[in-house]
């Protein structure tokens, strides 16, 4: 029996059904975790985020394994689709100053009305929200579509769809959308000092590529590399509002 997990759930007033829904798993799986089975790392991290506690508080015997990761690396997910929804939600919810999205389409975020509401809510309390999407007419977008094996027109259509879904945010103070013509080696999702970096690989859709969770500690850390990439792309991108 994992009494630490059981106590944390009781404190948060959550039951097995609540956790199962948040992590998209079967309630029986959550029950097995409470009874002592150790979850996969991605589920441990998602539960810790959901309960706002440290992983070591729930699974002290498993948490030390994360010490082998490089400084600033909080977690590594094998595929973007394995990142629990709670991780994305908590990433943006905790932002108080800065939210940044750099991708070609980020359509999976744009299709999530709840996440768009979070972006709107954070902007309304003073956070700056900057969204960088690929210019659908650019050769870089066409090349990325070919690299993923879906074709240039499909990638451009995804961006167009995403822009349509993001467009209501343009009326929110503090939100700006720009279009870039950059070869991306990874999509970047930032909330203050926390980043999720979705690496890109040839012949692999972004959803199947790994995601690295980074914490920005200083100007020499791994996260700083991606923050620099974001800022340089932002300075060369064109405002979306001025093109429509």
For the segment 163-173, what is each residue's pLDDT rounded down to a tens digit?
A: 999 989 988 99
Q: What is the pLDDT of residue 12?
A: 87
Q: Which of 41, 67, 93 is the last residue of a domain?
A: 67
Is 58 a member of any domain? yes
Q: Are residues 130 and 10 in the same domain?
A: no
Q: Are residues 183 and 210 in the same domain?
A: yes
Is 50 a member of any domain? yes
Q: Are residues 172 and 190 in the same domain?
A: yes
What are 60-101's pLDDT values in tens digits?
767 554 444 666 888 888 889 888 888 899 999 999 999 999
Into how many domains does the chain fold? 2
| Sign of the torsion formed by the C-alpha atoms of 141, 234, 189 and 129 | negative
Domain extent for 36: 3-67
Q: Residue 159: helix, strand or coil by DSSP? A: helix
Q: What is the pLDDT of residue 68?
A: 45
Q: Are residues 45 and 117 in the same domain?
A: no
Q: Are residues 30 and 86 in the same domain?
A: no
- What CATH number corresponds to the domain at position 63? 1.10.260.40
Runs of H (alpha helix) within the chain: 3-12, 16-23, 27-34, 41-51, 55-58, 85-93, 107-110, 113-124, 139-148, 152-166, 222-236
Give every residue of the chain whose pLDDT is below 70, as ranges. 61, 63-71, 218-219, 241-244
Is 72 a member of any domain? no
């Amino acid at each position: 029996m994992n009494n630490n997990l059981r106590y944390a759930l009781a404190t948060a007033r959550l039951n097995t059904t609540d956790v199962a829904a948040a992590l998209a798993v079967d309630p029986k799986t959550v029950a097995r975790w409470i009874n002592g089975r150790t979850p996969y790392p991605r589920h441990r991290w998602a539960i810790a985020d959901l309960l706002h506690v440290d992983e070591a508080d729930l699974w002290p015997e498993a948490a030390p394994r994360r010490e082998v990761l490089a400084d600033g690396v909080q977690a590594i997910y094998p595929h973007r689709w394995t990142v629990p929804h709670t991780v994305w939600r908590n990433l943006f919810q905790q932002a108080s100053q800065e939210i940044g999205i750099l991708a070609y389409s980020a359509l999976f975020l744009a299709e999530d009305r709840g996440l768009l509401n979070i972006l709107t809510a954070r902007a309304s309390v003073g956070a700056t929200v900057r969204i960088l999407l690929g210019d659908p007419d650019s050769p870089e977008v066409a090349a990325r579509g070919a690299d993923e094996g879906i074709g240039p027109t499909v990638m451009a259509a995804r961006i167009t769809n995403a822009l349509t879904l993001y467009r209501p945010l343009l009326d929110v103070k503090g939100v700006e959308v720009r279009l870039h013509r950059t070869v991306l080696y990874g999509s970047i999702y930032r909330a203050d000092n926390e980043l999720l970096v979705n690496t890109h690989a040839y012949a692999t859709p972004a959803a199947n590529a790994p995601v690295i969770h980074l914490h920005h500690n200083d100007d020499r850390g791994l996260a700083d590399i991606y923050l620099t990439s974001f800022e340089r792309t932002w300075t060369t991108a064109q405002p979306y509002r001025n093109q429509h």
